[in-house]
Amino acid sequence: MKNYYWLLLIALIAHVFPVFADDLKTNDWGQAFCNAQMSIKLKSANNLLRTNQPVIIAINIKNTSSNETISVYQSLAILNNSFVNFSFEVNSPSGENISGKPAELFNGGSGAIYQIAPGQTKEFEYALSSLCRFDKIGTYKTIAKKRLWPDTNKQCQITSNPLEIVISQ
């Protein structure tokens, strides 16, 4: 009879433990693709902001490869102290897509290529409020996308985790 209790206990632990493990990392990173992952989060201490307050996000790109360096191109054109080479999908509290486009800037083709070594992460900062207005109370949902060059012969696009931004009065 004791053996059955041990088996039951082991089965219960095996079933419950993955649930807790998933909760610890929910929405931290987007799906791994082309040996890279992207994560977005607010730079502020919490996800609660006021209407029309600047919304600044941290964008992290992680190289998940064990032996391949990833190249990330960034235009030197700057909009409100932010690089503009990421694309964003932003949905308002009503579900409307309010993703704007960065203002047209002359950049003359100048830019920088950041090399991310295997297992390393590079952080970028972006003023998301320069792209769209956060003027309604509620929860906004956003994702970021970025083109990468894992090697010189191919290009791919990675997508971030979804981020919820709560706007209060």
CATH number at residue 80: 2.60.40.10
For residues 160 and 48, what is the distance between their CA atoms, to the nearest angstrom? Answer: 20
- Identity at 22, one-letter amino acid code: D
Q: What is the mean pLDDT of residues 29-51?
A: 86
Query: Do the domain assignments include residue 13?
Result: no
Confidence of residue 30 (pLDDT cuts 50, 70, 90): very high
* Mean of per-residue pLDDT scores for the chain: 76
Identify the CA nearest to 87 among candidates 15, 143, 4, 26.
143
pLDDT digits (tens, 9 = 90+) for 10-22: 544 444 443 333 3
Tell whether the model's pLDDT for residue 111 goes beyond 80. Answer: no
Asked if residue 49 belongs to a domain, the reply is yes
On whether residue 81 sits in a domain, the answer given is yes
163-168/138-151 β-pairing: antiparallel
pLDDT score, position 19:
36
| pTM exceeding the 0.95 threshold for the entire prediction | no
Looking at residue 22, its pLDDT comes to 35
Closest CA to 145 of 25, 31, 55: 31
* Residue 12 in domain: no
In a domain, 15, yes or no: no
Burial of 163 (0-12, 13-18, 19+ CB in 10 A): buried
Whether residue 102 is contained in a domain is answered as yes
Count of structural domains within the chain: 1
Query: Does some domain include residue 158?
Result: yes
**How many whole angstroms separate alpha carbon 125 and alpha carbon 123?**
7
pLDDT digits (tens, 9 = 90+) for 79-109: 444 445 788 899 999 999 998 765 544 444 5
- For residue 115, what are the domain limits? 28-168
Say if residues 139 and 166 touch (Cβ distance below 8 Å): yes
